[in-house]
Amino acid sequence: MTKLDKIIETLRRNFHFKIKIFPLEKIPDAITWAERGFISIHENYLSRRKKSYHIISTDKARLLRLCRELSIPEDSIRSSDFYKFWHTNWIPENEGCKARK
Protein backbone atom coordinates (compact mmCIF):
# COMPACT_ATOMS: atom_id res chain seq x y z
CA MET A 1 0.00 0.00 0.00
CA THR A 2 1.42 3.39 -1.01
CA LYS A 3 1.53 6.45 1.26
CA LEU A 4 -1.30 7.99 -0.76
CA ASP A 5 -3.39 4.82 -0.38
CA LYS A 6 -2.88 5.00 3.39
CA ILE A 7 -3.96 8.65 3.48
CA ILE A 8 -7.09 7.90 1.43
CA GLU A 9 -7.94 4.88 3.58
CA THR A 10 -7.61 6.99 6.74
CA LEU A 11 -9.86 9.65 5.21
CA ARG A 12 -12.46 7.04 4.28
CA ARG A 13 -12.56 5.84 7.87
CA ASN A 14 -12.77 9.37 9.31
CA PHE A 15 -15.56 10.64 7.07
CA HIS A 16 -19.13 9.50 6.59
CA PHE A 17 -19.10 10.10 2.85
CA LYS A 18 -17.45 8.42 -0.08
CA ILE A 19 -13.98 9.38 -1.28
CA LYS A 20 -12.43 7.82 -4.36
CA ILE A 21 -9.15 8.33 -6.21
CA PHE A 22 -8.96 8.19 -10.01
CA PRO A 23 -6.03 7.96 -12.43
CA LEU A 24 -5.47 10.67 -15.01
CA GLU A 25 -7.21 8.77 -17.81
CA LYS A 26 -10.38 8.41 -15.70
CA ILE A 27 -11.11 12.12 -15.19
CA PRO A 28 -14.59 11.80 -16.78
CA ASP A 29 -15.40 9.10 -14.19
CA ALA A 30 -14.05 11.35 -11.44
CA ILE A 31 -16.35 14.15 -12.58
CA THR A 32 -19.37 11.82 -12.60
CA TRP A 33 -18.49 10.64 -9.08
CA ALA A 34 -18.15 14.25 -7.87
CA GLU A 35 -21.47 15.23 -9.48
CA ARG A 36 -23.13 12.64 -7.21
CA GLY A 37 -21.96 14.64 -4.19
CA PHE A 38 -18.98 12.44 -3.36
CA ILE A 39 -15.32 13.47 -3.17
CA SER A 40 -13.19 12.68 -6.24
CA ILE A 41 -9.44 12.88 -6.19
CA HIS A 42 -7.73 12.52 -9.55
CA GLU A 43 -4.23 12.99 -10.82
CA ASN A 44 -3.71 16.54 -12.00
CA TYR A 45 -2.88 16.83 -15.68
CA LEU A 46 -1.45 20.34 -15.15
CA SER A 47 1.46 19.12 -13.06
CA ARG A 48 3.26 16.10 -14.43
CA ARG A 49 6.58 16.75 -12.67
CA LYS A 50 5.08 16.70 -9.16
CA LYS A 51 2.53 14.27 -7.85
CA SER A 52 -0.40 16.61 -7.57
CA TYR A 53 -4.09 15.90 -7.42
CA HIS A 54 -7.34 17.69 -8.15
CA ILE A 55 -10.04 17.28 -5.48
CA ILE A 56 -13.61 17.90 -6.64
CA SER A 57 -17.16 17.68 -5.26
CA THR A 58 -20.54 19.33 -5.67
CA ASP A 59 -20.79 19.43 -1.88
CA LYS A 60 -18.72 22.42 -0.76
CA ALA A 61 -19.16 21.64 2.94
CA ARG A 62 -17.63 18.19 2.44
CA LEU A 63 -14.79 19.65 0.43
CA LEU A 64 -14.12 22.26 3.14
CA ARG A 65 -14.01 19.54 5.78
CA LEU A 66 -11.59 17.49 3.71
CA CYS A 67 -9.37 20.53 3.14
CA ARG A 68 -9.21 21.14 6.88
CA GLU A 69 -8.25 17.50 7.45
CA LEU A 70 -5.49 17.67 4.81
CA SER A 71 -4.25 21.13 5.86
CA ILE A 72 -5.19 22.57 2.45
CA PRO A 73 -6.02 26.30 2.68
CA GLU A 74 -9.79 26.73 2.47
CA ASP A 75 -9.38 29.78 0.27
CA SER A 76 -7.86 27.56 -2.41
CA ILE A 77 -11.31 26.12 -3.20
CA ARG A 78 -12.79 27.45 -6.44
CA SER A 79 -15.98 26.87 -8.38
CA SER A 80 -15.60 25.26 -11.78
CA ASP A 81 -16.20 27.36 -14.88
CA PHE A 82 -17.53 24.40 -16.87
CA TYR A 83 -19.04 22.01 -14.33
CA LYS A 84 -21.21 22.45 -11.28
CA PHE A 85 -18.68 21.50 -8.64
CA TRP A 86 -16.06 22.92 -6.31
CA HIS A 87 -12.40 22.03 -6.65
CA THR A 88 -8.91 22.53 -5.30
CA ASN A 89 -5.41 21.21 -5.92
CA TRP A 90 -3.48 19.03 -3.51
CA ILE A 91 0.23 18.24 -3.45
CA PRO A 92 0.60 15.80 -0.53
CA GLU A 93 4.32 16.53 -0.04
CA ASN A 94 3.61 20.27 0.34
CA GLU A 95 0.63 20.09 2.62
CA GLY A 96 1.86 18.58 5.88
CA CYS A 97 -1.07 16.19 5.66
CA LYS A 98 -2.45 15.47 9.09
CA ALA A 99 -5.00 12.78 8.20
CA ARG A 100 -5.45 11.01 11.50
CA LYS A 101 -5.69 7.27 12.05
Q: Could you state, in order of their start, the residue ranges of all structural domains in the chain?
A: 3-94
Which pLDDT value is given to residue 52? 85
pLDDT at site 5: 80
Tens of pLDDT, residue by residue over 37-53, are 899 999 886 655 667 89
pLDDT of residue 37: 86
Spatial separation of the C-alpha atoms in residues 45 and 62, rounded to whole Å:
23
Question: Which residues have CB under 8 Å from 39's CB, separation 6+?
Answer: 15, 17, 18, 19, 20, 55, 56, 57, 62, 63, 66
Global pTM reads: 0.79
pLDDT at position 96 is 53
Low pLDDT (below 70) residues in the chain: 1, 45-50, 94-101
Give the HSE-up count for residue 72: Cα atoms under 13 Å, Cβ half-sphere: 22
> What's residue 29's pLDDT?
95
